[in-house]
Amino acid sequence: MKLPRRHALITGGAGFVGTNLAARLVEDGRRVVVLDSLARPGVEQNLRWLEETFGGSVTALRADVRDGSVLRAAIADADAVFHFAAQVAVTTSLESPLDDFDVNVHATVTLLEELRRLRRPVPILFTSTNKVYGTLPDVRVRRARQRWEPVDAHLRGHGVDELRPLDFCTPYGCSKGGADQYVLDYAKTFGLPAVVFRMSCIYGPHQHGTEDQGWVAHFLLRSLADERVTVYGDGAQVRDVLHVSDLVEAMLRVVDDIDTVSGLPFNVGGGPGNTLSLLQLLRMIEELEDEPLEVRFADERPGDQRWYVSDTARLREATGWEPSVDVSTGIASLHRWLGRRSADALTPVRAR
């Protein structure tokens, strides 16, 4: 397949974040190559939407990110690489640690080596996770109604910054953390223009949430299908949530300013102003649906954090970025989007 010259490459580009980024890039006049194995359920719908909406501005490569020859061809004329392809579930990593390592670490290093072969510098943005900080065992928390929160007032008001020591937990945390460190080291050792986003909870359109990943969309999808929601732990776990449109804006700002920020990790999320516990999300959904949800509680899962909120000060100071979509607006917007998608799926196709 002939690829367009001067394109942005998005590995895992048919996924939730990749789809939203690809759409924004094309709207900004860029050409995009999406590399995706389509292994994750639902992403084929995203790719179909991209192709139908943007036509020849999006080129799809259905391939595994571990295929070095495909990677080499895909980056040959790339002017930016967004590396999202990954094994994303803690539970899957516990079942298959070797596969988790192969996808998250080996494939990332393979991509870095291919970028290093190029005669021109091509920026790469790698999406890591807040799981690299482990379970935050030293952070004392207290229950405040429907939420856990830190006892420490500074941490409660600002969140976790990038000076927090890494503390990998579970094979998933180890593999994403290992890849995170490789990307940063290639920037330091080889001068590769590279940054890492350690992301909290991202939500928005084109998200096919599951119990393992994408809990905001997962809860909404369960509600729309009139199905029971399972909550692992007591439900008071708190995360900062960020609408995907704000994430995409942050990514573009960082890549545009790569000469200044290369080699830095950024904690990326909604920050202290956009936090949500699982219980609070359930109440929001009940208000949107105007009916109670059926909820089952199960044991807390390995590696879960009772509280995690990103301190986004480094990103704000480097780029001027701040979230623009508040929690209530964003959740209501995603509820409407998923509702329309569910209605379309139930609409019978009329014979012509």
Q: What is the CATH number of the domain that holds 113?
A: 3.40.50.720
Hey, what are 73's tokens? 């061809």
How many domains in the chain?
A: 1
Which of 292, 280, 294, 256 lies closest to 331, judged by CA? Answer: 280
Whether residue 201 lies inside any domain: the answer is: yes
Which of 205, 193, 232 lies closest to 78, judged by CA? Answer: 193
Catalytic residue (choose from 133, 172, 186, 203): 172
Task: Give the predicted TM-score (pTM) of the model.
Answer: 0.94
Per-residue confidence in pLDDT tens, the chain, 352 aa: 688 889 999 999 999 999 999 999 999 999 999 999 998 888 999 999 999 999 999 999 999 999 999 999 999 999 999 999 999 888 899 999 999 999 999 999 999 999 999 999 999 999 999 999 999 999 999 999 999 999 999 999 999 999 999 999 899 999 999 999 999 999 999 999 999 999 999 999 999 887 777 899 999 999 999 999 999 999 999 999 999 999 999 999 999 999 999 999 999 999 999 999 999 999 999 999 999 999 999 999 877 889 999 999 999 999 999 999 999 999 999 999 999 887 665 343 333 2
Whether residue 351 lies inside any domain: the answer is: no
Please give the radius of gyration of the chain, using alpha carbons only, rounded to the nearest integer: 20
Whether residue 58 lies inside any domain: the answer is: no
pLDDT at 167: 95
Whether residue 28 lies inside any domain: the answer is: no
Which of 315, 327, 287 lies closest to 125, judged by CA? Answer: 315
| Domain containing residue 168 | 86-346
Whether residue 80 lies inside any domain: the answer is: no
pLDDT at 82: 98
The continuous run of DSSP H or E covering 59 comes out as: strand 58-62
pLDDT at 351: 32
Tell me, yes or no, if 172 is annotated catalytic: yes
Whether residue 297 lies inside any domain: the answer is: yes
Q: Are the C-beta atoms of 49 and 75 separated by less than 8 Å?
A: no
Q: Are the C-beta atoms of 58 and 34 separated by less than 8 Å?
A: yes
Whether residue 327 lies inside any domain: the answer is: yes
Q: What residue type is 334 in one-letter code?
A: L
